[in-house]
């Protein structure tokens, strides 16, 4: 118990020794009430030079949050237009291991014996070059058909009388190659983007200036489009087939059939079929290619839409003109991450009747990093030591952006973009 009382006594003694002299000090005289009121009314303010230092030294980091309005001297050049590949691969004209040759103005299908003209073992029962009949369960005639003949097909189609020449039919496939045509269009954009920037003071230069490092990231977009009727070189692949019989008028789609007459009664059989198909040579070695300069008319439209994130980094100089007004200038390296969609629609206009649309319609998406430089300047108005507004401009210059798609190019000039920036500035 004695040990616990001793610290208490010591603490009280020390407290008394400290507080008594302070209380015993002489109370200072109160200032003159009239002078005090005058001082309070005027308030205390540092000299202008010191107030600028006070605003500058508030915090080393500065954050910009702003919108950017662009005025870009950009353009888009479309080139290599008008190349349309064949719509499908067609087997060699002398090949037999194919299901069908599908041309742009016809088709030739691989033929084989039908189910009604083979036995249980798959052997052909009909006579090649002849005909065969089919009866129903009661033994009545219901069909009279053309028999399968090796080297011929009963399944084929053509579309135009111009394909016929001296008992043969020409099956064609069309494609085009560019004659080098291109267009240039001025680029467009929404004109409004978003940006954030941050800088940090590195060193002071005198009482009004400071040097720092600045980094920024912004978002802008671009687009351009055009629609034209262009000419290209027409490439025509032609396979010539022999027709075994009188060539039917176009358009013709085999197999074909007509009404069936019962030979025993001379009456038309209800729902009966008499095949009228004219057979076609199934394979042919006669294939040719012809290129007609500027022989293709193409209805085309081309567009590119994209956006890019610009990233700036470089030194920045800030100086106070007055207590609340400051200026900044800077320059440095610019990087732009560009992403775009290049859309192409090219359709070959053939005056003749064809069965397929010959064209190229697709969209390609790519992204790329471009390098350039920037220079900027702005005026700042500080509401407080930490918050204010700013208005400025930045010049961004970078390499061209080129997108290649199926032999076509879209060359986007993004250089010399002048951007107006305004927003909020904050020290932290």
The per-residue pLDDT for range 216-232, each reduced to its tens digit, is: 988 877 888 889 999 99
The verdict on 195 and 62 lying in the same domain is: yes
Considering the domain architecture, whether residues 224 and 186 belong to the same structural domain is answered as yes
276/298 same-domain check: no
**Residue 222 pLDDT:** 80
Whether 31 is in a domain gets the answer: no
Taking residues 356-372, report their average pLDDT: 90
Greater model confidence, 91 or 71: 91
Q: Is residue 213 part of a domain?
A: yes
Radius of gyration of the chain (CA): 44
Q: Is 273 part of a structural domain of the chain?
A: yes
Residue 12 in this model has a pLDDT that exceeds 50? no
367 and 310 assigned to the same domain: yes
Domain annotation covers residue 30: no
255 upstream amide cis, omega within 30 of 0:
yes
258, 273, 290 - which closes a domain = 290
Residue 335, beta-bridge partner list: 311, 371
CA–CA gap between residue 408 and residue 404 (Å, rounded): 6
76, 203: one domain: yes
C-beta of residue 333 within 8 angstroms of C-beta of residue 314: yes
Give 56's pLDDT tier (boundaries 50, 70, 90).
Answer: low
Q: Which tokens sit at 207? A: 């009482």
Q: How far apart are CA 304 and CA 322, in angstroms?
A: 48
48 sits in which H/E element: helix 48-56
Band (44; pLDDT cuts 50, 70, 90): very low
pLDDT confidence tier of residue 5, bands split at 50, 70 and 90: very low
Query: Would 14 be classed as within a structural domain?
Result: no
Express each pLDDT in 233-252 by its tens digit: 999 999 999 999 998 998 99
Could you give the C-alpha distances from 209 to 56, 381, 385, in angstroms and in order?
Answer: 8, 16, 16
C-alpha dihedral over 311, 316, 321, 324, to 10 degrees? 50
* 185 shares a domain with 157: no
User: Do 299 and 283 fall into the same domain?
Assistant: no
For residues 386 and 322, state if they share a domain: yes
Closest CA to 347 of 301, 398, 390, 378: 301
Segment holding 308, helix H or strand E: strand 287-320
Q: What does 203-218 look like in DSSP terms, one character per residue? A: EEETTTEEEEEEEEEE
Overall number of domains in the chain: 2
Q: Are residues 405 and 342 in the same domain?
A: yes
Helix (H, G, I), strand (E, B) or coil at 3: helix
Is 148 found in the same domain as 227? no
Q: What pLDDT sits at residue 66?
A: 83
- pLDDT, mean of residues 286-313: 91
Strand 280-281 and strand 168-177: pairing?
A: unpaired
What single DSSP character describes residue 362?
Answer: E
Which is higher by pLDDT, 17 or 281? Answer: 281
Range of the domain at 146: 100-177+241-290
The answer to whether residues 198 and 315 belong to one domain is yes
Which CATH number belongs to the domain containing residue 221 in this structure? 2.40.160
Residue 80 lies in a domain: yes
Question: CB of 365 within 8 A of CB of 325?
Answer: no
Any domain includes 249: yes
Distance between CA 280 and CA 103 in Å, rounded?
15
Say whether pLDDT at 112 is over 90. Answer: yes
pLDDT of the residue at 285: 85
Specify the pLDDT at position 73.
53
Is 373 a domain residue?
yes
CA angle, 406 then 412 then 415, to 5° = 155
pLDDT of residue 191: 59
Quick one: pLDDT at residue 327? 93
The last residue of a domain, from among 250, 267, 290: 290
pTM: 0.71
> Token digits for 392?
């400025």
- What is the predicted pLDDT for the residue at 235? 95
Tell me, yes or no, whether 322 and 190 share the same domain.
Answer: yes
Q: Give the pLDDT confidence score for residue 69 in this predicted structure.
A: 77
Tokens of 400: 């061209």
Beta strands at 156-158 and 141-146: parallel, antiparallel or unpaired: unpaired
What lies within 8 Å, CB to CB, of 139 at 6+ separation is none
Final residue of a structural domain among 257, 273, 290: 290
């Amino acid at each position: 118990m004695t040990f616990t009382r001793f610290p208490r006594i010591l603490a009280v003694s020390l407290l008394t020794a400290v507080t008594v002299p302070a209380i015993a000090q002489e109370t200072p005289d109160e200032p003159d009430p009239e002078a005090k009121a005058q001082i309070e009314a005027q308030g205390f303010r540092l000299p202008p030079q010191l107030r600028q230092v006070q605003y500058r030294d508030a915090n080393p980091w500065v954050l910009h949050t702003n919108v950017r309005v662009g005025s870009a001297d950009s353009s888009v050049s479309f080139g290599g237009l008008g190349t349309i590949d064949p719509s499908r691969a067609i087997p060699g004209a002398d090949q037999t291991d194919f299901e069908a040759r599908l041309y742009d103005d016809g088709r030739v299908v691989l033929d084989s014996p039908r189910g009604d003209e083979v036995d249980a073992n798959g052997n052909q029962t009909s006579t090649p070059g002849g005909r065969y009949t089919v009866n129903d369960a009661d033994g009545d005639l219901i069909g009279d058909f053309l028999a399968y003949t090796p080297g011929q097909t009963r399944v084929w189609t053509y579309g135009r009388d111009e394909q016929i020449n001296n008992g043969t039919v020409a099956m064609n496939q069309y494609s085009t190659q560019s004659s080098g045509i291109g267009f240039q269009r001025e680029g467009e954009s929404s004109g409004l983007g978003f940006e954030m920037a941050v800088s940090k003071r590195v060193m002071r230069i005198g009482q009004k200036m400071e040097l720092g490092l600045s980094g920024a990231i912004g978002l802008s977009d671009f687009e351009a489009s055009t629609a034209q009727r262009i000419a290209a070189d027409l490439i025509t692949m032609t396979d010539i087939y022999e027709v075994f019989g009188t060539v039917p008028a176009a358009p013709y789609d085999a197999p074909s059939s007509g009404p069936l007459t019962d030979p025993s009664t001379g009456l038309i059989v209800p729902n009966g079929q008499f095949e009228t198909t004219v057979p076609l040579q199934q394979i042919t070695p006669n294939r040719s290619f012809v290129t007609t300069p500027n022989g293709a008319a193409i209805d085309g439209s081309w567009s590119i839409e994209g956006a890019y994130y610009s990233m700036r980094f470089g030194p920045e100089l800030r100086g106070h003109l007055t207590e609340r007004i400051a200026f900044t200038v800077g320059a440095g390296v610019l990087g732009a991450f560009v992403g775009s969609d290049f859309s192409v629609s090219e359709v070959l206009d053939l005056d003749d009747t064809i069965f397929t649309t010959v064209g190229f319609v697709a969209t390609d998406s790519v992204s790329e990093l471009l390098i350039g430089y920037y220079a900027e300047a702005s005026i700042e108005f500080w509401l407080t030591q930490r918050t204010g507004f700013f208005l400025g401009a930045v010049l961004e210059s970078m390499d061209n952006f080129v997108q290649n798609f199926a032999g076509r190019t879209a060359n986007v000039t993004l250089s010399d973009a002048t951007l107006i920036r305004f927003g909020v500035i904050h020290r932290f």
